[in-house]
Structure 1
């Protein structure tokens, strides 16, 4: 919880200029954290301007050397989508126009903070997986690696109440939460 709140102070409300359909649009990045229950409540509570959303999947275990907290982390970037889109449209509308620029912005925020270190060597610092139509599959089974599950109807409902595309980023953080 402490780590999620520190990350929220850094990321939530950050403005980003996105090129959407050839036009520059300024969006606000939302940030929150928790498990699937919390995600469902957050999405239901937020009536508009939910996306882009950066979600930190809560990890209750961390080590605390030298006033820093070391934690294995999973961030998920969500963007609203249409389940009917083909990948050729999805890659432009969700990934190129929103998810990738948001990821680059968030990565820059984390790298620039004097109170955060991303542990590991450059090739292994970030483990990234794109999840189109996150949580939706034709047989109703979610294939992603997160701790979330779905009970939606086959191929019609997403893990996140809304139909979303996602990017899962796994990284190890060393963070001094009381300084953020």
Structure 2
């Protein structure tokens, strides 16, 4: 790419990388995997930057790439080798009780990837149904049904520890 396109790409990335890392962490629940997802997304974005930079909503395009990378990673995840099953650094600080965050994170990890992605985008990233549908390349009805199924499954997994009304409000 030319220096002008490179500097334009770098300016875009510097302005969005923290939000992308946060979203990737909320989707994956793992700091290292979230860094891998962001790296994969930004690499693909760089390769396509000359065509993408003129798109009306580059942010939506980039977030769609990130969500697709997460879903693809979950689909092929059964054969990946993990050298560590623990995080060597402390997790980023969040609000709420640490025990509740760990329980909700573990419960989310038990959901199918699409339900997990929908719940994270809707409730942890505070995105409206329309935006989630665009990011996941599906209909708003699919987002609504995946949300309903995901919340139902989350309630089953969490059991009586969390009242039904508090499941969707839990952050972590």
TM-score under structure 1 length normalisation: 0.28
Give 1 or 2 for the bigger CA radius of gyration.
2
The structure where helix makes up a greater share of residues is: 2
The structure where strand makes up a greater share of residues is: 1
